[in-house]
Amino acid sequence: MSIRVGIVGISGFGGGEAMRLIASHPSFELVYAAGEGSAGSRLVDRFPGIPAKLAGLVIEKWDPATLPKLDLLFASLPTGTSAEALARVPGHVKIVDIGGDHRYVEGWAYGLADVWPSQIEGRSRVANPGCFPAATLTALAPLLADKLIEPGNIVIDAKTGISGAGRGGADSRFGYAESNENLVPYGLLKHVHMPEMAETIERLSGGSAAGLVFTPHLVPMTRGLLATIYCRGRATTDQCLDAARRFYAGRAFVRVTDRPPQTKWATGSNLAFVSYAADPERNLVIAMGVVDNLGKGAAGQAVQNANLICGLPETAGLDGVPVWP
């Protein structure tokens, strides 16, 4: 069975990673790619290493009125633009939006695939979680479900490789010489990922996420994301690890580890690693979540969600082993 797939936003890093995964997917056939900045060029000129079968595909200018026959569409567009861009896509086309515009919007499933896959199966519109939420919520879900931590006053200190900041435009903020050998905090006290994290924390715990703090940082590496999360709770380390192992038993992509996870363990894969270190006497639980920001933080989770809504095995096309070193 071949599912006809399109990608809009092929020039961005999320779209490019989606293409890489789709190219090796047993059931997906990429038949359409669109991107603003690259319309008119062949896919192989932008991605010299793609498989020969895709080499001749020409990048189109996005126009939902003239789409070819598609079963499934991945969207990876700049924040604020996908609501309009996707509004006129025919209803029979399933959509996974890697961007942020449809998270917790009516009619769209919030695609936290490792946590509530049953809420995604059978749907036709999925809003892929943001990269920071992917790592953070994966680590917190078991603790919230077992009430090992309070849902309020959670402090998330997150670190991401620079591909997580997007491709940018005419902007030297992410120029190599400026960014290399440099660590930069940004988005303090307000960041677009906070609402979806607060909403999810409340749904998972039944409590209030008041007092949520989130500080992202850019790290001089291409891929990788770690969230170090400080929570209040009187659990022990073992109780947290045990809760996570039970919560994710049978889930293919979440690994629970005894030792602090390193971002490179996930690079190039759809894996998430979680761990915990707790000090009950101090009412402190530290949770750690690692993903590849382009993997489970974006395109990997998007393909996983696509598998769920297409009724395919969840792991289809996602069994790539992390690239190391």
Among 2-10, 11-19, 90-98, 299-307, which window interacts with a second copy (CB under 8 A)? 11-19
Site for a second copy in 17-76 (CB under 8 A): 17, 19-20, 23-24, 47-52
Give whichever of 23 and 109 is closer to a second copy, judged by the CB atom: 23
Cα-flanking dihedrals φ and ψ of residue 254, to 5°? Answer: -105, 125
Q: Applying CB under 8 A, which of residues 208, 230, 236, 251 lies at the interface with a second copy?
A: 230
Counting contacts by CB under 8 A, is residue 192 touching a second copy?
no
CA separation, residue 303 to residues 11, 131, 321, 323 (Å)? 18, 14, 16, 19
Q: Which tokens go with 249?
A: 């038993």
281/26 Cα distance (integer angstroms): 51
For residues 290 and 154, give the distance between their C-alpha atoms in angstroms, rounded to a whole number: 17
144 binds a second copy (CB under 8 A): no
Contact indicator for 78, 99 with CB cutoff of 8 Å? yes
Residue range at the interface with a second copy (CB under 8 A); choices 28-36, 141-149, 158-166, 198-206: 158-166
Q: At closest approach, how far in Å is the CB of 225 from a second copy?
A: 8
222, 236, 242, 251: residue in contact with a second copy (rule CB under 8 A): 222
Q: Other CB atoms closer than 10 Å to residue 234's CB: what's the count?
A: 16
3-state SS, residue 65: helix
Place of tokens 């020409």: 58
Residues contacting 75, CB < 8 A, separation 6+: 7, 8, 9, 82, 85, 86, 95, 96, 97, 98, 99
Closest to a second copy by CB, 47 or 104: 47
Shortest Cβ distance from residue 116 to a second copy (Å)?
22
Residue type for position 278: A
Phi, psi of 255 (to 5 degrees): -110, 130
- Any catalytic annotation for residue 131? yes
Q: How far is the CB of 92 from a second copy (least distance, A)?
A: 29
In the complex with a second copy, the residue whose CB is nearer, 4 or 167, is 167
Q: Closer to a second copy by CB, 116 or 230: give it.
A: 230
The 70-109 contact track toward a second copy, x by CB under 8 A, reads ----------------------------------------
The residues carrying an active-site annotation are 131
